[in-house]
């Protein structure tokens, strides 16, 4: 379901770079449905790299999907003409670091479709600092876990408040049932943490977040 929702945010006809492609499921599914023009599947580890190669071969998509063994955005070459980049299933800080260290490979015209496993706040901070506006956000629950999808494009200067960076600017407006359920659970976890012995500075931070969440849910 998570990959289906990510797929829904990839523009039709895009030239997609799927970074950390694992088995290459996303580009293979999109190409089989005729929804994208071409794709690059980038993988830094050998086992998933071979798995992606196998998926592409078994689906006879070798002419449309290029599988590359590369670190992050190093998988992208200028001649690929990439118009969308998906990075899914890793921590928000890791996604941020991939984008930051690969900045030279970004033309600024790509749509970013990001699915962090936690660490959304630092990722949104990077997007804001680099002139990316958040155009789409979604929270979904799968196997007891809550996942977020963040869609962004570079538009020039954009400013978000600390709360918007924490919760997501569009999530704050939409307040979907999954979003509210996620933060109810988070509030419970923060209160549990505060009941334990935590360093003063950290406790202040968690207390502020708990207050934000309480206000949100009120």
Domain spans, the chain: 2-160, 175-218
* Pairing state between β 36-43 and 132-142: unpaired
- In degrees and rounded to multiples of 5, residue 140 shows phi and psi of -140, 155
Three-state DSSP class for residue 71? coil
Tens-binned pLDDT, residue by residue, of the chain (218 aa):
899 999 999 999 999 999 999 999 999 999 999 999 999 999 999 999 999 999 999 999 999 999 999 999 999 999 999 999 999 999 999 999 999 999 999 999 999 999 999 999 999 999 999 999 999 999 999 998 999 999 999 999 999 999 999 999 999 999 999 999 999 999 999 999 999 989 999 999 999 999 999 999 99
Q: Are 65 and 41 in contact (CB under 8 A)?
A: yes
Task: Give me the sheet containing 145-154, strands edge to edge.
Answer: 65-69, 36-43, 14-19, 84-90, 111-116, 145-154, 132-142
102 contact partners, CB below 8 Å, separation of at least 6: 72, 73, 74, 76
What's the predicted TM-score (pTM) here? 0.94
- CATH (residue range 2-160): 3.40.50.150
Name the nearest CA neighbour of 178 among 168, 164, 163, 192: 168
Per-position b or e across 63-91, b if 16+ CB within 10 A of its CB: ebbbbbbbebbbbbeeebebbbbbbbebe
């Amino acid at each position: 379901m998570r990959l289906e929702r990510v797929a829904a945010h990839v523009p039709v006809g895009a030239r997609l770079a799927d970074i950390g492609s694992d088995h290459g499921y996303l580009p293979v599914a999109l190409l089989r449905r005729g929804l994208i023009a071409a794709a690059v599947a980038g993988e830094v580890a050998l086992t998933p790299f071979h798995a992606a190669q196998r998926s592409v071969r078994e689906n006879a998509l070798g002419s449309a999907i290029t599988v590359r063994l590369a670190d992050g955005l190093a998988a992208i070459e200028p001649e690929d003409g990439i118009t969308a980049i998906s990075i899914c299933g890793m921590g928000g800080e890791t996604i941020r670091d991939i984008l930051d260290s690969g900045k030279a490979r970004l033309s600024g015209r790509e749509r970013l479709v990001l699915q962090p496993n936690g660490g959304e706040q630092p990722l949104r901070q990077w997007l804001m600092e680099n002139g990316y506006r958040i155009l789409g956000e979604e929270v979904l629950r799968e196997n007891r876990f809550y996942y977020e999808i963040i869609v962004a494009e570079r538009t020039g200067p954009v400013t978000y408040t600390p709360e918007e960076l924490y919760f997501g600017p569009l999530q704050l407006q939409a307040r979907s049932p999954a979003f509210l359920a996620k933060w109810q659970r988070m509030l419970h976890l923060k209160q549990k943490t505060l009941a334990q012995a935590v360093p003063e500075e950290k406790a202040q931070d968690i207390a502020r977040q708990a207050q934000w969440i309480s206000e949100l849910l009120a």
